[in-house]
Amino acid sequence: MQFKRMSIFVVAISLFWLAGRGASALLVAKAIAPPRAPFSHLLRLALRPPYRMATPHRNLLANFRLTLIPSVEACSPPTCTGEEKKAISDPNCPQDGNAYYCPDCTLTQGCTWYACKYTGTHSYCSYAYGTPPARLVKTTQVRTTAPIPCPRPKHVTIFYGGKILCASWNLPARPS
């Protein structure tokens, strides 16, 4: 009788351990896989990962919470922050007055680097990363549409992660 009880206990513990390992592997796979990946893809990723996966800053609970509330690039125009794009002069760029700028963003000269600075005088729009809906935290990935003409036809120039890029995306118009 005691042996039977002991066996049930060991089996239960083993099952619990296996379930924990399985759940953990699935949640790590979920953290790595595209957000709308089907369960079969997650299972494949967890069982036969093509590369090593890790979520170094999360425990099982945090993984579970972030699975329910994923991070998104959440903020977009017309949410305005009163920030303006400010160019940073770069000596590798052609001189323009007292500063040096590369509005065309070439490989050799690099791009004009921009940073967002709060001025409160203009209502330029910004993008931000965060966890919706309550905790929308603005980070350095602040983006503003840039008022610099793009050299490529049918493209717009945007400020993106500190760089000026040409893109063919249909961006929302910059508010006046």
Partner 1 sequence: MRILESTCATFLILLVCAPSARTQRVVFDASKEVKGDGAFHPVWDPVGPRLISYRDVSRPDAPAVEESWADGKKLSFYPVRDLGANYIDVWSVAGSPDGGVAIAAILGFAARANRPIPVKSVILTYDGTGTLRNVWNVQPYHPHALAVDANGEVFALGHADLQNKPYPLLIKYSALGEDQGEYLSSNLFSDGDKVIDEDLQNGESRIFIRDNLLFTWIAATEELFTFSVDGAALARTSLSPALTTMADLSSSARVSIFELQPDRQRGIVAQVQLWPRDGSPSQVALVKIAPNGTFEKWIEEPSAAHSRRFLGLTSDDKPLFLERFGRSAVAVNVGQ
Does residue 21 touch partner 1 according to CB under 8 A? no
Residues with Cβ < 8 Å from 21, sequence gap 6 or more?
none
Which of 175, 80, 71, 69 is closest to 127 using CA atoms?
Answer: 80
Does residue 40 touch partner 1 according to CB under 8 A? no
Q: How far is the CB of 137 from partner 1 (least distance, A)?
A: 5
Q: Which of 23, 25, 32, 43 binds partner 1 (CB under 8 A)?
A: 32
Q: Residue 69: left (phi > 0), alpha (psi -120 to 50), or beta?
A: beta
Which of 161, 164, 163 is closest to 150 using CA atoms?
Answer: 164
Amino acid in the structure at residue 34: P
For partner 1, the closer CB: 123 or 136? 136
What part of residues 78-137 is at the interface with partner 1 (CB under 8 A)?
Answer: 86, 88-92, 94-95, 98-100, 105-111, 113, 115, 117, 127, 129-132, 135, 137
For partner 1, the closer CB: 14 or 71? 71
Half-sphere exposure of 33 (CA within 13 A, CB side): 21
Angle between helices 39-47 and 2-32 in degrees, nearest 10: 110
What part of residues 147-176 is at the interface with partner 1 (CB under 8 A)?
Answer: 160-167, 169-172
Q: Rule CB under 8 A: which residues touch partner 1?
A: 28, 31-37, 50-58, 66, 70-76, 86, 88-92, 94-95, 98-100, 105-111, 113, 115, 117, 127, 129-132, 135, 137, 139-141, 160-167, 169-172
